[in-house]
Amino acid sequence: MIKSGDQFIAGRSGGVVGAIVPWRGCLAGVAPAHIFHAAGTHNLRVGGCSCRVSYFPSDADLAFFPILGACQPTALGKPNLGDALISNSQHSMRCRVSDTSWSIAYVVLAPGDPPGPGDSGSSIVQDGRVVGLLLSLNMHTWKGIAISAEFIKEVAERKD
């Protein structure tokens, strides 16, 4: 069963399925679009399934790919200031949501074992709900940027 936090391979690169959401009558995985742009492909493999990105919104670093295999929808929530986890199937680390807007959440990590290449899309989790997807991390400041789950839900509900 494919779920939020699972790793995927796209070309010679990879990332993390940040969330699985209802999208256009099916369930779709959501991940950062920059992974696919850098890999030069719209195709990916996750949990033994082959998928293809079907939607790159023009106003966000997001990619939506329908999943035809068994998958578990993600419980989404609104990011709140305070403690959180950056989590994927390989590891999780504590962080703190330091600022939010309706589309972006900023996180601060404790120095140590940071997310690395391939961790893009890792879920930001608070109170058992995914509140955002990690997009980038500044290693000098230990601050990261995540797309908020509220924005992901809004994009998934668009009719365009």
Distance CA 64, CA 152 (A): 10
Domain that holds residue 86: 82-156
Same domain, yes or no, for 91 and 146?
yes
Same domain, yes or no, for 88 and 52?
no
CATH for 42: 2.40.10
Q: How many domains does the chain have?
A: 2
pLDDT in tens, 59-91: 999 999 999 999 999 999 999 999 999 999 988
pLDDT in tens, 86-114: 999 988 999 999 999 989 999 998 877 77
Q: Does the global pTM surpass 0.85?
A: yes
The reply to whether 54 falls in a domain is yes
The reply to whether 74 falls in a domain is no
| Burial class of residue 160, CB neighbours in 10 A (0-12, 13-18, 19+) | exposed
